[in-house]
């Protein structure tokens, strides 16, 4: 099977963004940086691509120019083990960005992330329809996901 590597288009912040992302996630690193040459299309010497790894997943950032920007049609999901992880990733990724509803945020570069606890998936897939619906209703009213509040809602408390 071929390897699939998400490519993220930035104006000129690809290296800065990659360095930020590898500082947030464990087991992450910048692997390679290439630069534009005299042939262009951007200024010679400017960073063209940045290959980086976030906890085992390869990504490439490309400084392609301001013509294309991120939108919510593409997001990266961070599945968190517990509330402490949700809090940590939410704080780091939303700093300088924009908090959204239902565990979504945009980071300082405009990239959309979903920061969600594993427990959310368990609750919204609960075999008890009433628990599942109460958990979903609670989640839809949240910005950052609150595991205790989800569980309380699912329990009807």
Does the pLDDT at position 46 exceed 90? yes
**Cβ proximity of 115 and 78 under 8 Å:** yes
Q: Enumerate domains of the chain plus CATH numbers.
A: 1-66 (3.30.720.100), 70-157 (3.10.180.10)
Q: What sign does the CA torsion over 139, 141, 146, 147 have? A: negative
Q: Which helix (H) or strand (E) holds 39?
A: none
Model confidence, pTM: 0.93
Does the pLDDT at position 134 exceed 90? yes
Q: What is the pLDDT of residues 84-120, one digit of tens each?
A: 999 999 999 999 999 999 999 999 999 999 999 999 9
Above pLDDT 70, what percent of the chain?
100
Nearest C-alpha neighbor of 153 from the set 138, 132, 143: 138
């Amino acid at each position: 099977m071929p390897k699939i590597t998400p490519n993220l288009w930035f104006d000129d912040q690809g290296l800065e963004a990659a360095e930020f992302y590898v500082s947030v996630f464990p087991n992450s690193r910048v692997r390679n940086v290439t630069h534009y040459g005299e042939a262009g299309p951007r200024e010679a010497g400017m960073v063209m691509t940045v290959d980086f790894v976030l906890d085992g997943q390869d990504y490439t950032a490309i400084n392609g120019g301001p013509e294309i920007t991120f939108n919510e049609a593409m997001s990266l999901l961070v599945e968190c083990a517990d509330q402490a992880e949700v809090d940590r990733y939410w704080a780091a990724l939303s700093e300088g960005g924009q908090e959204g509803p239902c565990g979504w945020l945009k980071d300082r570069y405009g990239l959309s992330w979903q920061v969600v606890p594993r427990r959310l998936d368990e609750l919204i897939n609960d075999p008890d329809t009433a628990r599942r619906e109460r958990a979903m209703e609670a989640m839809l009213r949240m910005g950052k996901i609150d595991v205790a509040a989800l569980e309380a809602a699912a329990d009807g408390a």
